[in-house]
A and B are shown apart, each in its own frame.
Chain A
């Protein structure tokens, strides 16, 4: 009879804190890709001295009513950023909200570029785009 107690307590303890490890899914690190031009978000003067933000129309993608651009952050990774767009001015789209001036967006939207993909920045092309 006496040997039952330690067994019971062991059972009690193990029954309470059933702790199995988490089955975390490791995300694969995608290989860096070249994405063509990276265009910084520009500002342009409007009538009345107000500035507006501009991105190339080709960089904007849509999902139903949602509009977005692919932004490359300081860590060279792509994030999908939702933006609110205004009118179109000569191949550029006025952005009303969602990006800051100077942020780099992927010039040509490519549906294959996913969230978190690392890009190889080619400064030359970027500058070209800037001087255009």
Chain B
């Protein structure tokens, strides 16, 4: 037998001193890499997304859309690399969101966007202000939240101490943004006294001007004198409320009017604009106080590429140090989010799983090869993984769920090469036909080349997954890359380290002493009994094929029967979820707070909830999901977020998703009592989307779109399993439109702008400057406003005056400075606020959103369910709509609807994985043709691939699990493994036949000889996957590998030899016939 690459390599290393050194070195670098690679929970995904805020004060949504959103969208769509452009036109401003294709360089995208925008600024209508451009990135998501809460301190004091702590924390290296949510800032409030203003003849505008002018200081220049330069400065900044109150704002009679004469100046907390409360719940640590307390949250983000757990540890120790000095004793600081800790925990759990998988596999190998064989296999795994971890580190991957998952996934596969080699060496040692060294090399030669082929088959199976596009791409790409790398290393280890170890560890004494005879082994007897009847009788053979065929059809039938449902990814077991409450537009902050509190008081009774924190009027610290959903804009008075922290997943039985499902109905009942809409928002296991179910409604006019959206919403609500139904259409909100009477204003010498400014200052308040103190870390604004009690109704506006700029006509003579009451100049119109206009990819759209839980967990089935109902809807045009699944209709003349949300990603993933699978089959086919030089043999080998479905689908049914993207990955990988088994089988048949054995004899012998390595390798895959069964996300993969592995291995051992026999018998018969 001539030596292949495998034999040559083995010969080089089997007795070399370098081999153990290489092994030790690999292990060491691997261990180092494990500790140096940054740890995270989720893989880093760069979704270049940019938000553009374009203010257009005064414009109605329709105008904003037509003049700003539309033209900007059009130009932005032309930028190469832009995937989607969304816009929302609201009263006074437009929000345009640009999403680049996943993987586009963030900085380059920003530059392109900026230049395109600048090029088109001249086309903007007058009045449009300069756009604010904000890059949204994953690093904006805080990794650590610290909640400052107190029984005795007020939100103002809490914020003060949080600000001080934040300032200290910013000194830590590698720290990202530090922000403070909630609390009240210090402010100098100038509360105008309407009566005094009128009495002293001072207008609010005048006050603003005087403060602004009084709050300046500058360097005027210098004098040169006596060979010296003297710097001259003038003016003085306002440094205290006292100084503010002493500003002269006007002259009355012959005396100056000070600000304190016409207004009350208060230096202290700003007006309440948010409610942020923290409370311990049912599962709080022992000894925690009950009740809820004012809170302020300090959020810490990390820099790109930083390690969250290292940063979190540094911050926590810093805070510990500040506890005595900066943080007053009454304030408790509680850690309410620590992604660093969760990431470390996840990583270590996965490493632990990895270890368990390796141990389990070793035990299985031990059964067949004895403890020495097991030791050989056990030693090869850490080396493989050490090298893979090193490559992760070099490729800038982090240790996260996906990269580690790749390792667990291949645990069962990477041992295979070593198993096959060790097993064959073991067999050859047992046969005692050759001296030890010679036997080892022969053994390696025998299986070396098919092993190399088999390894490449498996790599060919997983590698095409790199080409999954869309948001899911970066999530999944470390998997095929990691798995392929591990496979290559495992091959090298099998060819270099395993022979070295086997040669030293495996003993020749054990086993049989007589001359080796295959026909006497148990395997041979077994296969002789099983295969012979089928080989001899073609009827029995066809019967067997028929049974297998039926099993396959039966298994596949489970999918349309909905016994096995498809879902992209199941929910992970997290330690938190959020409740998002939307009250009708126009709800007061206090009413929203009340609803939030009521929902929170229910949530605190849920046994698994450890603590909760609700945020009203300010958004809760976002997560990746909130980032994509723009939850950071949830700062209006009618919105509340409740952050719910569960006890650690080890300390509870229920999964977070089940808890979320359980509380949903009650939470919604409470919200509904106040006409609110509450949603339970869980952290999605995969890439986030606007909502799980999204119906995009296009049409000729907004009214028709909204009308249809209402009907679709109705359908959503009626469908069981569809929950959290909402649509992005604001409810009617009353607005008072103060229309300026132009003639009257002109006669009084007052401009429309003056009126608008005065009104704004009185109601919303106007920041007229900041206090220049160096002690304060947060800037202290000086705000002019009417006091709260003075701006509660339209009547309150009657006392506001504007100053005339003077007007002289024939009939009236009005001197400048005359005070004119506003009520004289405006008339009030009550109307309904215009609705925001949403656009996606240049078309107007109305979104209806929902989630699925309960009756169905998979959006696809809910969608199919609702399709029928939606098709029946009556539309004004008399036609019916059929919701689109991909693409979007071309014309807006008719109403149309498209499904989006999780479906879009599911579709992309399964499409790409399906394509990948097809490519995999072709590559495998080509590889085997190259090896066996036959077009037919590869087809026989690939019969094993569909056979895996017989196990996979019923396996999912048995576990009551979803067929997920990870199941699909398992199926694809299994194709590689099964083909490899066939390769090993048929390769041996051919070797035996070349040695002159009879076809039937060769087939049975091959089955007998190869059963042990096949069962061993498949067994390793199966046992290695058992660990993953308990992980909600990777369960599908485990089921695929376990059930698919078991069934297709059994079937392969019978079906493949039989098919090969049939195919070869025909050709031998024809050859014989020809020779006759």
- A64: contacting residue among B155, B280, B286, B370, CB under 8 A: B155
Q: How far is the CA of A86 from the CA of B1046 in the complex (A)?
A: 74
Q: How far is the CA of A115 from the CA of B598 in the complex (A)?
A: 12
Q: How far is the CA of A98 from the CA of B272 in the complex (A)?
A: 13
Instruction: Tell me which residues from 1 to 55 in chain A have a Cβ below 8 Å from any Cβ of chain B.
Output: 1-2, 4-5, 8-9, 11-12, 15-25, 27, 46-48, 50, 52
The answer to whether A86 and B789 have CB atoms under 8 Å apart is yes
Q: How many A-B residue pairs have CB under 8 A?
A: 134
The answer to whether A12 and B589 have CB atoms under 8 Å apart is no
Whether A66 contacts B272 in the complex (CB less than 8 A), given A1-B371, A22-B652, A84-B788, comes out as: yes
Q: Does B651 contact A (CB under 8 A)?
A: yes
The answer to whether A22 and B283 have CB atoms under 8 Å apart is yes
- Considering only CB atoms and an 8 Å cut-off, how many residues of chain A contact the other chain? 44
Q: Does A112 contact B (CB under 8 A)?
A: no
Q: How far is the CA of A9 from the CA of B364 in the complex (A)?
A: 11
Q: How far is the CA of A47 from the CA of B371 in the complex (A)?
A: 95
CB neighbours (8 Å) of A94 from chain B are 789, 792
CB neighbours (8 Å) of A116 from chain B are 290
The answer to whether B607 and A84 have CB atoms under 8 Å apart is no
Q: Does B812 contact A (CB under 8 A)?
A: no
CB neighbours (8 Å) of B269 from chain A are 64-65
Q: How far is the CA of A65 from the CA of B872 in the complex (A)?
A: 55
Q: How far is the CA of A20 from the CA of B157 in the complex (A)?
A: 39
Q: Does A85 contact B (CB under 8 A)?
A: yes
**Which stretch (B58-66, B355-363, B550-558) binds chain A?**
B355-363
The answer to whether A64 and B359 have CB atoms under 8 Å apart is no
Secondary structure type dominating chain B contacts: helix
CB neighbours (8 Å) of B593 from chain A are 82, 98
CB neighbours (8 Å) of A65 from chain B are 154-156, 184, 268-272
- Kindly report which residue of chain A lies nearest to residue B280, judged by CB atoms: A25
The answer to whether B650 and A20 have CB atoms under 8 Å apart is yes
The answer to whether B286 and A25 have CB atoms under 8 Å apart is yes
The answer to whether B155 and A86 have CB atoms under 8 Å apart is no
The answer to whether B282 and A97 have CB atoms under 8 Å apart is no
Q: A74 to chain B: closest CB distance in Å?
A: 12
The answer to whether A19 and B1026 have CB atoms under 8 Å apart is no
- Kindly report which residue of chain B lies nearest to residue A12, judged by CB atoms: B356
The answer to whether B272 and A24 have CB atoms under 8 Å apart is no
Q: A105 to chain B: closest CB distance in Å?
A: 13
Instruction: Tell me which residues from 78 to 120 in chain A have a Cβ below 8 Å from any Cβ of chain B.
Output: 79, 81-87, 94, 96-98, 114-116
The answer to whether A23 and B286 have CB atoms under 8 Å apart is yes
Instruction: Tell me which residues from 563 to 606 in chain B have a Cβ below 8 Å from any Cβ of chain A.
Output: 588-591, 593-594, 597-598, 601
- A85: contacting residue among B184, B364, B598, B788, CB under 8 A: B788
Instruction: Tell me which residues from 128 to 162 in chain B have a Cβ below 8 Å from any Cβ of chain A.
Output: 153-157
- A46: contacting residue among B291, B364, B653, B795, CB under 8 A: B795
Q: Does B879 contact A (CB under 8 A)?
A: no
Q: Does A63 contact B (CB under 8 A)?
A: yes
- Kindly report which residue of chain B lies nearest to residue A64, judged by CB atoms: B154
- Kindly report which residue of chain A lies nearest to residue B1026, judged by CB atoms: A12
The answer to whether B1027 and A12 have CB atoms under 8 Å apart is yes
Q: A124 to chain B: closest CB distance in Å?
A: 29
The answer to whether A84 and B590 have CB atoms under 8 Å apart is yes
Q: How far is the CA of A8 from the CA of B356 in the complex (A)?
A: 9
Interface residues of B (CB under 8 A from A): 153-157, 184, 268-272, 275, 280, 282-286, 288, 290-292, 294, 352-353, 356, 359-360, 363-364, 366-367, 370-371, 588-591, 593-594, 597-598, 601, 607-608, 647, 650-653, 788-790, 792-795, 1026-1027, 1029-1030
A-B contacts besides A19-B653, A23-B651, A96-B590, 19 pairs, CB < 8 Å: A1-B370, A1-B371, A4-B363, A8-B359, A12-B1027, A15-B356, A18-B650, A19-B650, A48-B794, A63-B294, A64-B157, A65-B156, A65-B270, A66-B294, A82-B275, A82-B590, A86-B788, A94-B789, A116-B290
